[in-house]
Structures are given as structure tokens and as C-alpha cells.
Structure 1
């Protein structure tokens, strides 16, 4: 009797355990299904596009004179007159300074005298040769040696005359150097000499006699970082603001590009021509350039949140045609506040996960809404 009662209790206990396990397994299965449905519902997708990522960047720049020249003496001499001063507006060809060199004047006089002497001797030699040649037509009147000697003398006098002419022209040119003229329209920004000063190539000078700048047109020089330089093109419109004139915006266009990267700063220097006919902007002033570079050629665009970065790589999660997750390695380019350029094994129209999760594994089936 005790044995029957004991077997009955054992049977009831087994049924309870079996029922509990089945309920637990059913609950776990249901929980996993609900969790999978929840994950699938939370995933968002976007298509890869080729749109441009345009983020405005602000870079410092400096104004430089369009033309600038340091005026040094071309000939040795003393300063006789200084006709301009710091701040003087001058025109091309205008006389700026007059130098004096008495020895140059005397050398020029002597050179002119030697030139006239050589010309006279050349005229006499030509006439002598002409007469001998005319007389040689009469047989026996002039020897061949005399005729050849007269011709050689004429040629020698001609060469001497040419040499004296060249010397005279050289000294005339040196004398013209004593009058210093402006090479272009501009403003005198520096003056370092006064009347009576000795100047010349052999004289130790602390600086140029004068400094001339063209200021009605300026160069705005700015260094573009390597990551943005490829997206720039010549003639692109830019906006800039002069630090000394807050609140006022100016427009310009990229006029020149250096075409190489600075080894020190890894940047490309570009220039923007600025019309400064009003004269309000001075060379040496600083400006802030607002630039919106164009997208990098060949780049695709995805939201920044779609790019996953780890210590080993950067990748996006693409959903293939069968709905499975694929990890595609990419490299980022230019970025804006919401979008990023990417380079990798992607094509326009591919669907990528915008809000990837840490527990999402490659090959996982993702429901497409």
C-alpha cells in the first residue's frame, strides 16, 4: 500500500516538472520572437546617394599688395633730390628721386668724344678705300696690296666705331639710372634715404631707398587644408570678412592656385583678387574667408550615424537583397553636421542601417519595412 502511494506521488511530481519546463520554453521562445520583432521595428534605413556634402568652413587669410617692389639704386651716386615721401601716390614713369655722380658725367663726355673720333676715322677710311678702288680700274695705277690694306683699315675703323658707340650707349644708360622712376602706379610706403646720402651697389644699406606698393588692387592669400583643396575650382565665389571691419561682408572669386601642397602645413595656397579702389583695406590686414567646398569627386554620401568606427576599422551595415546584414568597410571624406562622404564597396541606391546596434551581427536577417 505504501509502495502504491509512493509511486502515485512520484508520478504527480514528474507531471508538474514537465509542465513547468514546457511553459518556460514556450515563454522563452515567445520572448525571443518579440525581441526580434522589436529590433526589426527599431532599425531605420536610408539609401546611399551621390549628393554633395557642403559644410561651410572658415579660414584665416591675409591681404597683400598686388604688386610690391623695393627700389634700390642701379648706379652709384649721391642723392640729390627726393621728390616723394611715405604715403605719396605716384604714377608709372613718375620721377621719384634724382641722383648725382660727377664721374659718370665726365665718363659720358669722354665716351662721346671717342665715339665722334672713331666715326671721323671711319669716314676717312671709307673715302680712302673708295678712291683706291676707283683708281684700281686703271691697270698698274694701284697695287693689290694697297687696296687690300685700305679695305682692312676701313673694317678696323668700323669695328672701333661700333665699340665706341656701345660704350657711349652704356654710359648713357647708366646716366639714366640716376633718375629713379616709378615702375607702376602705387603708394610709397617706405622711405629710407635723404639728400646727400651715398647709395649704390657697393654701399652698405640697411634697406631699400623706397618701397612702392600697388594698393588699388589686393591679393587675399589663404591656405586651404588638403582635405578641402581637391574640391575647389578656380573662379569659385567666396565670401570674406575683414577683421578690422566687423559686420561687413565682401565677395570675391578664387583667381589663382599654387597647385602644390605645403610640406610644412599640408595645405594649398590660393589667391583672391580684391578690388580696393576705395583704399579702405590695407595690405597686411587679416580676414576670415567663408568657404563652401564642393564634394570630393567619386564620393558617396550617407548619414554620419550610419558610419561605425572602431579601433580597427570604419564600416557601414548594408542590407542585401535577401535582407541579411553586410559589413562594408569605408573611409570617410568631408563631413557636415549630419552627412558624411564615404569611399568603399558601395553603390548609389544601396540600403544601409542608420541606427546600428552593438548586438547586430553580420549575416543577421533584418526585416525591411
Structure 2
């Protein structure tokens, strides 16, 4: 029989003993502590890095140039002198010989009012004057007779040839004749004055130009009745010389203090875009103009118009130079408004700018001159052309806020 030998199973590898339960509980806690420490270190690094980011300064260069103060206003182009031609008498327009743009000479007839009613008055006054003159001649003859009669009776009464009553009566008649002649003479003067007035009114029926110029407006037509009873009607407007114009500008009361005669001005009109015209302040008028509680003053700018391009009534945008400093040291106005964070304010009554020197802002006290709302003239201070004045600051792009770390 075969041997029945017992089979011995192979020996298994020893299995290491499990770690004690206490060690399994400590490992998660240690990991949490490590994470907290790492998070704190990272956050501290991030905060410190963000805190130490230096600002980026916006700067401008100190330069030499012109500082010019300009007052801007709107105005209207007008002739230097415009004459209103009206009518002193009423009537119907019979003829018009002047129209828009007509060149007229002094004394030229522009329109005619029907003269017949006024001619009739002249004829009547002439007749009345002739009647008065005839009456004077008659009364002068009567005066001569009365004088002779008075003289004769005065001689006769000396010899008692006439009574005293007769002599007194002749004397009275003589004096009455003298008074009548004086009255006739006064009547003649009166009739002469009436005739002169009638002749003047007759002459007014011819509407004439009082000056040499150009008709810029006509307000009457043939057949129209004009009434001059209460107010002289305006028939024509005549500009004396359109080669010389003026711009009447409305300057606010806050700007008019710097205005004076002779200042240079420039302006543009919509009719000629891009064309800058030049002029000179001719007059600063004292009378204010108040519109909706806004007070303005009329500043007159004289301008040449040799090519007759400018037309009356055009709207002009005017720039008037009230002050100018050529070739001065200047800085942008924005530099005067900048102060670094945490820096003390400038002493009262002083001005300063901050100059970038060695990468750091340095305060420089200055004396200010003319300001044109863009640049300011520097009178005193440690500034030189080429210095960089600080206008503002900003953090570099991407460094204003650093991203938080991710885990």
C-alpha cells in the first residue's frame, strides 16, 4: 500500500501587527495643523507682497512756453454804423427806388410818398400868405391916411378950427391903423412859418438816404400806407461801410474785469468752417444786459471785412486774449492739485508741486503766475525745464490686487 504521508501546508508570510488605535487618531489632526500653518504663511506673504507694491506715478515735463488766458464768448456780426431811415409824414408809398444790397449815395431818393396832399397844403399856405401881404398893403395905406389926418387936425386945433373931440378921434384912428399894420406884419410871419412847415412836410415825401452806404433792410412796399402820427416808421436800414464790421459779444460779469480796449481777438462763423478771423477789442460798454438773471456786458470787437464775406447777423464764436506770458516756465494745472497719500497739506497761502526725483516724490514750493486753465506760470521755486512733476498715481496693472493662493 502506498505510504500515506500527511501533506504539510506551506507556511504563510507573517502579517505585521496593526498599528495601535491611538496612532490612527493623531494623523488627521497633524495634517490639519500643517494646513493651517501653510495657509497662514501664504496669506502673510500675499499681504506683504501687496502692501509693498509701489504706485505708478503719472508725470508731466516742466516746459517753457506761452501761457495765454482766453475768454470765450458768443456774439453777432453787425455793421459798425447802421442808419434807420424812416418817414416823418404819413401817406401812401408811390415809388421805391432802393432795394436790398443797393449802393446808395447821400441824398439819393429811395422812396416817394404821395405828395399831392402836402402840395395842396403848400399851395393853400402860399395863398394865405399872399392874402396877408395884400391886407398889409391896404392897412399901410390906411395908416398913412390916418397919420396925415391926425397931423392936420393937430394943426387946426391950435387955431380952434376943429373941436378937441375931432382931434382926439383922428388920433385914435391913427393909433388903430398902426396896430392893424403891426397885426398884419405878424400875420404875414405866421403865414410864412406855416408855408415853411408845409414845404418841409412836402420835402419829407421824398425818402432820401442820409449817408453813403448799402441798404441792408427794406421794410416797405409800393402802395403801403405809412403812419407817422405816434412813431416814425422804419422804411430802410442802411449800413455805412460793410468793409468794416464789428462783433457784439456777450461777456459774463465774471470775465469782463479783464477786458480792455486793444486786446486781440479771434473768432469763427458757421458760414466758413475752419477759417479763423482776427479782430481787436474796440469797446467795453458799461451798460449791463440781464437775461434770466445772468448779467453780461457788450464787448465790441472791430474786424476788417474787405472781401465782404461777413454778413450782418452772423453768429460768431469769439476768443479774446485777456493776458499772455510768452516763453515762461510752466506746469500743468493738474500738478497743483496732486498730493501723495498721507502727505501733509501745503502751508496756508502757499502753492506746491511734487517732483519725481530718484523715483520718489519731492515737494517743491512755488510762486504762481498767470493761469490759463491748462497751464500755470511758475514765478519762483526749485523747478527747471525737464523736471517731472507728478499729476497723479496708480498701481501697476496686475498688482493692485494679488490673487489668493489655491489649495
Q: Please tell me the TM-score bracket, short chain as reference.
A: 0.5 to 0.7
1:88 to 92, 102, 114: 102
1:128, 1:276 → 2: CA distance?
Answer: 73
How far residue 172 of structure 1 moved from its aligned partner, in angstroms, is: 0.7
Q: Does the 8 Å contact 2:67/2:370 carry over to 1?
A: no
Give 5+ residue unaligned stretches, structure 1: 1-51, 296-300, 320-331, 342-347, 356-369
Does 1:79 pair with 2:93?
yes
What root-mean-square deviation, in Å, do the aligned CA atoms of Structure 1 and Structure 2 show?
4.4
Figure out how many residues of one structure are paired with residues of the other and give that number.
283
1:120 to 126, 134, 145: 134
1:60 to 69, 74, 93: 74
Does 1:157 pair with 2:184?
yes
Alignment of 1:6-17 (within 5 A): none
Alignment of 1:142-291 (within 5 A): 143-201=170-228, 208-214=234-240, 215-264=242-291, 265-291=294-320
1:93, 1:279 → 2: CA distance?
Answer: 24
* SS of match in other structure, 2:69: coil
2:116, 2:206 → 1: CA distance?
Answer: 14
Q: Which 10-residue stretch deviates more, 118-127 or 103-112?
A: 118-127
Q: What TM-score, normalized by structure 2, do the two folds share? A: 0.57
Higher Rg of the two aligned structures: 2
Deviations 1:182-241 (A, max 9, x none): 122232334454433333336999x85444334333221112232321122122232333
Q: Does the 8 Å contact 1:63/1:286 carry over to 2?
A: yes
Deviations 1:328-363 (A, max 9, x none): xxxx9965323289xxxxxx9899xx99xxxxxxxx
Question: Using a 3 Å threshold, how does the CA distance of structure 1 residues 336 and 197 change in structure 2: closer, same or farther?
Answer: closer
Q: Does the 8 Å contact 1:228/1:293 carry over to 2?
A: no
Q: Does the 8 Å contact 1:242/1:288 carry over to 2?
A: yes
Runs of 4+ with >6 A deviation? 202-205, 348-351
1:102 to 110, 116, 140: 116
Question: Using a 3 Å threshold, how does the CA distance of structure 1 residues 122 and 334 change in structure 2: closer, same or farther?
Answer: farther
Question: Using a 3 Å threshold, how does the CA distance of structure 1 residues 246 and 130 change in structure 2: closer, same or farther?
Answer: farther
Give 5+ residue unaligned stretches, structure 2: 1-65, 156-166, 325-329, 340-346, 353-368, 383-388, 391-407
Question: Using a 3 Å threshold, how does the CA distance of structure 1 residues 224 and 267 change in structure 2: closer, same or farther?
Answer: same
